[in-house]
Amino acid sequence: MTTLLAMMTALGPMASCLYLPSFPAMVAAFGGTPAEAQLTLSVFSFGMASGVLVYGPVADHYGRKPVLLVAMAIFVVASLACIFVPDLQTMAAMRFIQALGASGPLVLGRSIVRDLYEGARAGAELARLSSIMGLVPAMAPILGGVLQQYFGWPSTFIAIAGVGAFCLTGIALTMPETAPSRQSRRMTPGDLIRSYVFLSRHWVFWRYTILVALSYAGLFSLLSASPHILQDIAGLSPFAFGVSFNIVMFGYIGGTISGRMVVSRVGMERAIGIGTIVALVGAGAALATTEMLGVTAWTVLPPIALAYFGIGMYYPQGIAGALIPFPERAGAASSLMTSIIMLLAAIVGLVVGHSLGDTARPLTFALLITGVLSLVFSLLPTGHSEQN
């Protein structure tokens, strides 16, 4: 069950990372520009932000499984459609639809964990989920580099569609319904609005959601900047870029594993505090090394891996903190939280992508700013009275 949840939750990150080594080839194939290729990444994040607003409340009403099946079908069809686009603008449109499908398993995977577990156990299981799904974006750039080298850019979307079809089959055949209750009456837009208004009145939801959104914005800034920094400036080949990307992603995976152990010993809040400090130290080190020694793979990757280690420690705990107080609205809470996360990530990604030059400053400054703000929010009152 955990493996299937991890795979379907990782479809969004995989769809973002697998085709990164193909950016130059796509630009050449369609006669576009690097900015147009980068737009297909940011548009995907905007699509995720839009889709998640609907899936959570609808799944709270009708159940997790039927909503998941619809979302997965959209994802598979849109992934295949990306192969036949005539230009990068149409590719961006298909990527938006693809994201609408991917947003379903992303938000509902977290809701299913919330259905099954409580308290610190929920945080530990979300950390386990994050560590497993972290393997997908870690390996995706390597696989994408191999696919690009031997089969061309369309093969990456065939692979994405294939994994989506596998998850669709697994959900249909093996996944039980986990929603605590299902309502028979027809759902209205007013139900959605009431759920989100209810959540927006609770500080505990905003505190954890903003904390998680800031951390993911730091993660997404690397996706936006890494092809240019590591390939154009540092001179790595597409395959070497995919391999080097693992240094950072395994830092994140190590953080999720460590976070699971830390939270079981010192609790969620202290684990979040430790993680934000580690992430901030890594961001500061990345800025210092690239400024003093120049932009190379070895000045960029190790300190950013340390920052991602810290993010991995507190990112799953922040998700759990936002969902635990709302058992009857876990889907809506996960939807609203994920939408805010993706919206901020898309904005930060656009800013970073359009600020790139011959230095790593857009990336390192983004990590530093989001790290400082994350530390600030980790120190704010938690609103435990609301949770209790």
The pLDDT of 288-304, averaged and rounded, is: 90
Q: Please state, in angstroms and as integers, the Cα–Cα distance from residue 139 to each residue in 21, 165, 216, 252, 253, following that order.
A: 12, 19, 19, 13, 12
Res 295 pLDDT > 70: yes
**How much is the pLDDT for 77?**
97
3-state secondary structure of 19: coil
Res 39 pLDDT > 70: yes
Q: Counting Cβ atoms within 10 Å, is residue 239 exposed (0-12), middle (13-18) or buried (19+)?
A: middle
Res 61 pLDDT > 80: no
The pLDDT of 185-214, averaged and rounded, is: 84
The pLDDT of 83-94, averaged and rounded, is: 95
**How much is the pLDDT for 309?**
95
Binned at pLDDT 50, 70 and 90, residue 186 comes out as low
**How much is the pLDDT for 30?**
92
**How much is the pLDDT for 182?**
58
Contact 216, 337 (CB under 8 A): no
Q: Which domains does the chain have, with CATH numbers?
A: 2-387 (1.20.1250.20)
The pLDDT of 367-380, averaged and rounded, is: 92
For residue 203, the tally of other CB atoms under 10 A from its CB is 14
End-to-end CA distance of the chain: 30
Res 189 pLDDT > 80: no
**How much is the pLDDT for 369?**
94
What is the identity of the amino acid at 78? A
pTM above 0.95, yes or no: no
Res 85 pLDDT > 80: yes
Contact 316, 38 (CB under 8 A): no
Model confidence pLDDT, tens digit, residues 219-272 = 888 887 887 788 778 888 878 888 887 788 889 889 988 988 888 888 888 999
**How much is the pLDDT for 319?**
86
Angle, vertex CA 321, rays to CA 259 and CA 258, nearest 5: 0
**How much is the pLDDT for 119?**
66
Cα 167 to Cα 4: distance, rounded to the nearest angstrom: 7
**How much is the pLDDT for 185?**
52
Cα 54 to Cα 252: distance, rounded to the nearest angstrom: 29
3-state secondary structure of 278: helix
Cα 23 to Cα 263: distance, rounded to the nearest angstrom: 39
Residue 318 CA, distance from chain mean position: 14
What is the identity of the amino acid at 334? S
Sign of CA pseudo-dihedral 81, 84, 89, 91: positive
Res 153 pLDDT > 90: yes
**Residue 201 DSSP one-character state:** T
The pLDDT of 127-138, averaged and rounded, is: 71
Contact 250, 305 (CB under 8 A): yes
Sign of CA pseudo-dihedral 27, 30, 31, 34: negative
Query: Within the chain, where are the H helices?
Result: 2-9, 11-17, 23-30, 34-62, 64-81, 88-116, 119-133, 135-151, 154-174, 189-200, 203-226, 238-266, 268-293, 297-323, 330-354, 361-379, 384-387
Q: Which residue has the higher pLDDT, 63 or 211?
A: 211
The pLDDT of 281-300, averaged and rounded, is: 91
**How much is the pLDDT for 388?**
38
Cα 114 to Cα 330: distance, rounded to the nearest angstrom: 7
User: For the chain, what is the mean pLDDT?
Assistant: 85
Cα 52 to Cα 60: distance, rounded to the nearest angstrom: 13
Q: Which of 272, 237, 53, 38 is nearest to 148 (CA)?
A: 237
